[in-house]
Structure 1
Amino acid sequence: MTMEKLIIATRGSQLAMWQAEYVKSELEKKFPDMSIEFSVITATGDKILDKPLALIGGKGLFTKEIEDVMLSGGAHLAVHSLKDVPTELPSGLKLAAITKRDDVRDVFLSHKYKNIEDLPEGAVVGTTSLRRQMQLRSMRPDLCIKNLRGNVNTRLRKLADGEYDAIILAYVGMKRLGLLESVPFAEPISDDIMIPPSGQASLGIEIIDDPEVAKIAETLNDPNSALAAKIERDFVSRLEGSCQVPIAINAKVDDDNVVVRAQVGLPDGTEILEESLEADKNSAEDLGSKLADIMIEKGAKELLARAEAMAFKEERCERF
């Protein structure tokens, strides 16, 4: 017997609602007789907009309030950007499905310049991601990195108002909201240059620990994306990583093979440790942990401890 009503918990941003609507639409195709409703929740990460995420501290900045509602019986299922989901979940909840991964790349956005190489010396680039800051600085140590918070539309407005020469966002969010055409220069950045974070471009379907809800959620699971997610999340878990440290990790899964690449380093880009591993898909489940162990042997944990001490110390850009 199929559930009569399913309640989906989600954040209220435009992108979060797109994601929740997408999941609702997919489930309605599979369970046409089931009523599906939303419970829209404001997360801590949406409330505190005057500080970089790295300085707010704690885990689950975009998931905790949603999880509290689920645990109190207010929702059966939550739709998250997988990159926001901590590797450890509260008792009573589980990650039941990973949707098919979209384009994992970041995107360069500017009203004046074509790409990172085209930026003049001292150009102001907006990002709150310590990973992106590390990668940008390793390429262009002359750039001035300025904190950038708010939803996608807020960030684009700040760019249009001239607060930044360029900003870096996830390509998939811009694509899903149909906003790529709104910026004169929007160039995807090769993931060979800028390795994405764990979980980028997949949705994580978190559920209450209930067999009937699990059966419903599991119909959304993409096996290759789920394998990639496990590898990436195992890597972050083994390193005990959080948003307070710069970690890049991406697993590419094809029919027979898995290649995983990772970077950890300092936010100023002066030290970066990069490694990769490859395995047959049938023996790749532990690849994330294996790669983490290799990097730990080479000093990754000590490097990340130094990175956390640096956190996000915003520099003063000359024109501000």
Structure 2
Amino acid sequence: MDRHIKIGTRGSKLALWQANWVKSAIEKSGNGEWKAKVELVIIKTKGDKILDVPLAKVGGKGLFVKEIEEALLDGRIDLAVHSMKDMPSEIPEGLCIGAVPERETPKDVLISGKGLLLSELPAGACVGTSSLRRAAQLRRARPDIDIVPLRGNLDTRLKKLEHGDMDAIILAAAGVKRMNFESRITEYLDEDIMLPAVGQGALCIETRENDPEIEPVIGPLNHQETRSVVMGERAFLNCLEGGCQVPIAAHGKIERGIFTLSGLVADVDGKTIIQETLSGPETESETIGTDLGNCLLTMGAKQILENLKV
């Protein structure tokens, strides 16, 4: 039986790499029972159109997914491929996270023009990032450096570094590796310096709920351990009602059946950072995520998040 499947994606090189990876995986997963013709449908999102303003100032949630979700809801596409860290905490009614493939490393990396580690950068060095999460943690680790806005795709960001506009930039390791720029990485940042974004390094395959045509197609792509960990991180984010442009970080892992989640909420200048870790059975990752979120709220995160909304 032949199937024609349309995958919605953003048009950046990294987004297309991710969508093509899913396309290839689907084409290989038919086991002879069916053959899929898979087509990519490129959709421009609000986050792609506004490149001259820091994302935190654009406002709103789902800056890189909303238009793609609309296409999924109205049937123009059959599934969507996103970076999990771009997914807002709430998913529109009628849609769901259909599959979560195995995660790439969730860490952030430093790429510096002269090959200097974060600890070696001189006072006053310019480090590029538009992420409030990264900026807050950078200010905690190195209050003596200057943080400058950095937007655009991976190529654009690397070119700004090459042109000497800044001394170093911070990027997600997963994207750098997927685009074959791993040799440019100066340093993988430890979690005690830079806790990752919720879902960083993981892909999200979003579908319509209870879609009998698509569920068996994407089922083989789901990696259950990754899904359990990511859903725990997202439960933490949802408890805090945070989007991808808020200084919230979390990373979970499963070892010997135990799920451990570290979470963080920071103010923008990095002077107040509230952080805690909780553990429990891996089957209860979402409950642990919610509990950790409530824990941070009582520790002062609620005031920080309310101040950000002003």
Into which bin does the TM-score normalised by the smaller protein fall? over 0.9
Are 1:64 and 2:91 matched, yes or no? no
1:220: Cα distance to partner? 1.1
Amino acid of the structure 1 residue aligned with 2:151:
R
Aligned CA distance change for structure 1 residues 63 and 163 (closer, same or farther; 3 Å): same
Taking the TM superposition and a 5 Å limit, the aligned residue runs for 1:124-203 are 124-181=126-183, 183=184, 186-203=186-203
| Amino acid across the alignment from 1:228 | V
Does the 8 Å contact 1:15/1:176 carry over to 2?
yes
Mapped partners of 2:67, 2:263: distance in 1: 30
Where do 1:159-308 residues align within 5 Å?
A: 159-181=161-183, 183=184, 186-209=186-209, 210-308=211-309
Structure 2 regions of 5+ residues with no counterpart? Answer: none
- Check the 8 A contact 1:195/1:250 in 2, yes or no: yes
Q: Is the 8 A contact 2:262 2:277 kept in 1?
A: yes
Cα deviation 1:207-262 (Å, max 9, x = unaligned): 12312212222221111111111111111111111234200111112341111001
Deviation by residue 1:109-162 (Cα, 9 ceiling, x = unmatched): 011142111110011000000000010000111111100000000000000000
C-alpha distance in 2 between matches for 1:11 and 1:124: 30
Partner of 2:16: 17
DSSP-derived class of the 1:34 partner: strand
Deviates more, 1:25-34 or 1:170-179: 25-34
Percent identity of paired positions between Structure 1 and Structure 2: 44
Q: Distance in 2 between matches of 1:29 and 1:230?
A: 26
Tell me, in whole angstroms, the C-alpha distance in 2 between the residues paired with 1:290 and 1:130: 24
Tell me, in whole angstroms, the C-alpha distance in 2 between the residues paired with 1:10 and 1:252.
28
- State the SS of the aligned residue for 2:204: strand
TM-score under structure 2 normalisation?
A: 0.95
Q: Where has structure 1 moved over 4 Å in runs of 4 or more? A: none
Change (3 A) 1:59 1:180: same
Secondary structure in structure 1 of the residue aligned to 2:194: coil
Between the aligned partners of 1:242 and 1:170, the Cα distance in structure 2 is 17
Shift in Å, 1:3: 5.8
CA contact (8 A) 1:224 1:254 kept: no
- 1:212 aligns to what SS in structure 2? coil
CA RMSD between the two structures: 1.4
Distance 1:140 1:121 in 2: 9
- Counterpart CA distance in 1 for 2:199 and 2:245 is 17
Q: Helix, strand or coil for the counterpart of 2:213?
A: helix
- Number of residue pairs the alignment of both structures matches: 306
Q: Which residue of 1 aligns with 2:114?
A: 112
How far 1:192 moved relative to its partner? Answer: 3.0
**SS at 1:279's partner residue?**
strand
Aligned to 1:98: 100
Q: Which deviates more, 204-213 or 163-172?
A: 204-213
* Structure 2 CA distance for aligned equivalents of residues 139 and 308 of structure 1: 25
CA distance in 2, matches of 1:295, 1:6: 42
Q: Take 2:135 and 2:309, find their aligned partners in 1: how far apart are those partners?
A: 13
Is the 1:246–1:307 contact (alpha carbons within 8 Å) kept by the matching residues of 2?
A: no
2:45 corresponding residue in structure 1: 43
- TM-score normalised to structure 1 length: 0.92
Give CA-to-partner distance per residue, 1:40-86, whole Å, 9 cap, x none: 11111111000111000011100011112122221000000001011
